Amino acid sequence: MRRSGMSRPGIRHASFVIERNCAASPARVFEAFADPAAKRCWFGDGEGWTLEAFTAVFAEGGHECSRFSRGDGPPMRMDTIYHEIVPGQRIVLSYTMTIGGRRNSVSLATIEFFAEGSGTRLVYTEQGAFLDGAGLGAGLAPMAPTAP
């Protein structure tokens, strides 16, 4: 029930899929996600980004946390929980994104690894709840991996 005089926060739901072809086996591409040191190299230490902290326990029920910023932008924090991990096949996770101290989004993501020839087709699917006008429509790029 909505009370008079109270505004209801807005939530935008969005889904997107990103596909990448990698010149490595599914096991090797999977390892780029599973090994925290390898993931940090391609996920958090990109050009223009400052990574302040990165911790990861890559296991079902495990938690990953990263704190970072881009240029002079606001501080960001990503908190991830791993729900299902099938080596070389798929990862199912959920995460919250906080920007400038304000929760921006909550997402469910799956990462699938398919053998194609001598390489891998990586399929990243995300379903997000973007809070109070935040998210894709607010000019934020989806937090999805580039090919490791």
Please spell the DSSP secondary structure of 82-128, one letter per residue: EEEEETTTEEEEEEEEEETTEEEEEEEEEEEEEEETTEEEEEEEEEE
Torsion angle of C-alpha atoms 127, 132, 136, 142, degrees rounded to 10: -60
pLDDT at 7: 53
H or E element at residue 27: helix 26-34
- What domains sit in the chain, N to C, each tagged with a CATH number? 13-133 (3.30.530.20)
- Evaluate if residue 13 carries a pLDDT over 80: yes
> What would the two tokens of residue 67 be?
């704190």
CB 93 within 8 A of CB 109: yes
H or E element at residue 34: helix 26-34
For residue 79, which of 41, 116, 45, 53 has the smallest C-alpha distance?
A: 53
pTM for the whole thing? Answer: 0.82
- Evaluate if residue 28 carries a pLDDT over 80: yes
Average pLDDT over residues 7-31: 90
- Evaluate if residue 92 carries a pLDDT over 90: yes
If you average pLDDT over every residue of the chain, what do you get? 86
User: 19-33, 37-51, 58-72 — which is least confidently predicted?
Assistant: 37-51
pLDDT at 56: 94
Average pLDDT over residues 113-133: 94
CA 136/CA 67 separation, integer angstroms? 20
